[in-house]
């Protein structure tokens, strides 16, 4: 057994608690907008938002085509 075994290094910035504290401090200092999300959107959320935007564009295009 190696007495100098490497422990997995976890960054303290990856923990949700630290992220919340940093966001709160940034908001108090005016560096971060109040409406900024606490976490970046997941890949799934990004894909769903893109689908919603595309559907809205198609709906607007259909309404314009009907209106003419």
Residue 43 belongs to what domain range?
13-67
Q: Is the pLDDT of residue 43 over 70?
A: yes
Mean pLDDT in residue range 28-45 = 80
What Å distances lie between residue 18 and 7, 9, 11, 14, 39, CA to CA? Answer: 21, 16, 10, 7, 12
- The total number of structural domains in the chain stands at 1
Is 5 within a domain?
no
Is 38 within a domain?
yes
- Give 2's pLDDT tier (boundaries 50, 70, 90): low
Residue 30 zone, left/alpha/beta (φ > 0; ψ -120 to 50; rest): left
- Give 63's pLDDT tier (boundaries 50, 70, 90): very high
Is 4 within a domain?
no
Mean pLDDT of the chain: 82
What is the model's pLDDT at position 38?
67
pTM here is: 0.44
């Amino acid at each position: 057994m190696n007495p100098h075994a490497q422990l997995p290094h976890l960054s303290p910035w990856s923990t949700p608690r630290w992220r919340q504290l940093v966001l709160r401090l940034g908001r108090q200092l005016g560096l971060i907008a109040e409406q900024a999300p606490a976490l970046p959107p997941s890949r799934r959320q990004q894909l769903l938002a893109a689908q919603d935007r595309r559907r809205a564009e198609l709906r607007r295009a259909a309404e314009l085509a009907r209106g003419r």
